[in-house]
Structure 1
Amino acid sequence: MTYVIVHALAPIFVIMLLGFFAGKAKMVDNKNVSLLNIFVMDFALPAALFSATVQTPWEGIVKQSPMSVVLVLAMWITYAAIYFLATKVFKKSPQDAAVLTLTVALPNYAALGLPILGSVLGEGPSTSLSVAVSIACGSVLMTPFCLMILEREKARAAGEAAGSTLAMLPVLMWRSLKKPIVWGPLLGVILSAIGIRMPDLLLSSIKPLGMSATAAALFLTGVILSARKLKINTVVCTATITKLLIQPFIAWGIVMALGLSGPIAITAILMIALSAGFFGVVFGNRFGVQSPDAEAVLLLSSVLSILSLPLFISLTSGM
């Protein structure tokens, strides 16, 4: 099992290392990655998420609803707790806290979901469906929180708004919904729900763009990291422990409370137990927000998940 996990993590580190090398060697300007960021955030990732959600049968999404409830609650609880700690205890700015919390709360479904789940439950349509639903839950029900905070602080810095967050909420929601990274997967879910099937020609046309999404995002993350000096501190340690241990046990508690068992319960816990995702770091860079803590958590959790994932795979084996 450790071999499977290392095998799944290897591409992540290799692609990030290539981006890191490209930035250090000045093959890519690691101080100005706006063009690469636009490609990842406005084209590649939205295409990948739209393809994943629009091709997911609505009946399958409904059957996966118990798992979705566990994932969403575990992510929301973690997001709220880390954001509170980051802003109230560690005195981080709202922007920095938003990037950090999204990095911690949203697991790396896109890169690790299929290989890890496939190795435990076997590869097949149901496994692919579970991963697609997990990605949809994260992109539609998690990322807007981060985007709204980033948009709010951007508006306040520009002097466009000085009211409360509640008063600004309609504007912030609209600005978030206009982002391709949000409306792409949301549109896919809506089309799936009403039974509209996309033409094969359209799906095959955007498939290469979607296939490049994870690699491009990881390469971009490596480039971003090449311009930073990573430091391990209390915030990073707290966030990493939360991601790898506390959040999966939160999911476990929700699974027990809902009385779930079998593949659905195993899937929900293992999806949450994955290492931190790269969305937070990429989102922050899109808004000019640098979060060294989020970057450190991304790397540290990816390395330490080699130890934590076998633990939860073993613990869930009897469910």
Structure 2
Amino acid sequence: MSFAEIFTVVVPVFLVIAVGYGTGRRALFDAGGAQALRELTMQLALPAALLLSIWQTPRHVLVDQLPLVGLLAFGLLGVYAVLLGVLRLAARRSLRRAALFALACVQPQYAFMGTSILGGLFGTAEAAVPIAVAGILVNVVLDPVVLILLGMPDHPRSRAAVATEAASAVRRPALVTAGGGPLAQATAPLAAEAASSEPRSSILRTVGHALREPFCWGPVLGLVLSVSGVGLPEVADASLTLLAGASSAAALLYVGVSVARIGRPKLTPAVWAISLTSVVVLPLLVYGVGLTVASAADAAQAALIVAFPVSPVPLMFAARHGSTEDVRTIGSAVVLSLLLSFVTLPLLIGLVG
């Protein structure tokens, strides 16, 4: 593919993002408007596009995608685990900051930009499979794990203190009797059960919430229908096609509006490190590993999925669980990686062919 053809695919995407950025700067979309664009994309349009494309994909084509699943699991989950360990042990970052920064390095904007760029390169139906696989890995595995890590104390002593407080909280009502008998003998088992069940219930609750999102169950439903051989009714085809048509424009406008709300990036070493890892190091690593263990086509698709700029999701996590400095760093990385990707994406597309 020539660079003229590559830019024909890439440039319109960035022009629509620029339109979203302009509307955000002019305050045509406030916080509620930006959230509405995101919900339209993630709750309606993109799930419809993925459901339709996977449903139309023949069963044997889906079976052939297992190497791609492994490559994406390596790029999204395996690399995250390595970066978390490096940031935590070698760089001496706190657990919370290490979890956030590692997530920013590996979670790309595949959901917002992937449909337009990958669809233009490979076709909408073929691009839907890697996007759906990445969505399941991120939403069902990676993000819930990160949320659990963000809820953990940074030091073991803090956890012991929390357990002690929980135990004492359970013991206090032991002075009260229930059914005519004292509860003192039951306080220790109750405290242990509360301490052990809290993380488990948190994990299950987070995963259960992710599975209820249309962005997760839509592709799974399409996979079930395709594998079971259920034909696509003409009415469903037409309806899903109309709804899916809104996914690309709404997603790209949301990217532009969200960048406008972040403002000018602060170019610290951490921001450069996150941005370059996201759009250069990670895709090249995945592509190199893919050429070794899988086909060139699978390596190219996996590399392009992880080559998109930093997702706004780590920024949302930082706003809730991190410090002001974390928010500033990850927000700046979102903006810088988007600017860098205008150059890195065409170069990577030219490299993978």
Which residue is 1:275 aligned to? 308
> Structure 2 unaligned runs (5+)?
153-193
**Contact 1:139–1:182 (Cα < 8 Å) also in 2:** yes
**Contact 1:6–1:306 (Cα < 8 Å) also in 2:** no
Equivalent of 2:118 in 100, 113, 116: 113
How far did 1:58 drift? 1.8
**Contact 2:278–2:310 (Cα < 8 Å) also in 1:** no
| Distance change >3 Å, CA 154–CA 32, structure 1 → 2 | farther
In 2, distance between residues paired with 1:297 and 1:5? 25
The 5-angstrom pairing of residues 140-219 of structure 1 reads 140-148=136-144, 165-219=199-253
1:251-288, CA deviations, whole angstroms, 9 ceiling, x for partnerless residues?
Answer: 23433442x4454444444x346322656379769989
How far did 1:142 drift? 2.1
| Distance change >3 Å, CA 203–CA 283, structure 1 → 2 | farther
**Contact 2:25–2:261 (Cα < 8 Å) also in 1:** yes
Q: Which amino acid aligns with 2:38?
A: N
2:172 is the alignment partner of 1:138: no
Which residue is 1:231 aligned to? 266
SS in 1 for 2:27: coil
Which residue is 1:38 aligned to? 39
How far did 1:52 drift? 2.2
Equivalent of 1:103 in 97, 107, 122: 107
In 2, distance between residues paired with 1:310 and 1:10? 9
Percentage of identical aligned residues: 23
1:144-174, CA deviations, whole angstroms, 9 ceiling, x for partnerless residues?
Answer: 2354257659999xxxx97654453222221
| Distance change >3 Å, CA 33–CA 307, structure 1 → 2 | closer
**Contact 2:80–2:103 (Cα < 8 Å) also in 1:** no
1:94-142, CA deviations, whole angstroms, 9 ceiling, x for partnerless residues?
Answer: 8855862553485853222133x45xxxxxxxx5554222112111222
How far did 1:45 drift? 2.0
In 1, distance between residues paired with 2:226 and 2:147? 29
Q: How many residues align?
A: 303
TM superposition score normalised by structure 2:
0.70
TM superposition score normalised by structure 1:
0.76
How far did 1:216 drift? 0.7
2:75 is the alignment partner of 1:69: no
| Distance change >3 Å, CA 162–CA 82, structure 1 → 2 | farther
Which residue is 2:52 aligned to? 51
Which residue is 2:169 aligned to? none
Equivalent of 1:301 in 315, 337, 343: 337
| Distance change >3 Å, CA 12–CA 32, structure 1 → 2 | same
| Distance change >3 Å, CA 26–CA 262, structure 1 → 2 | closer
| Distance change >3 Å, CA 152–CA 43, structure 1 → 2 | farther
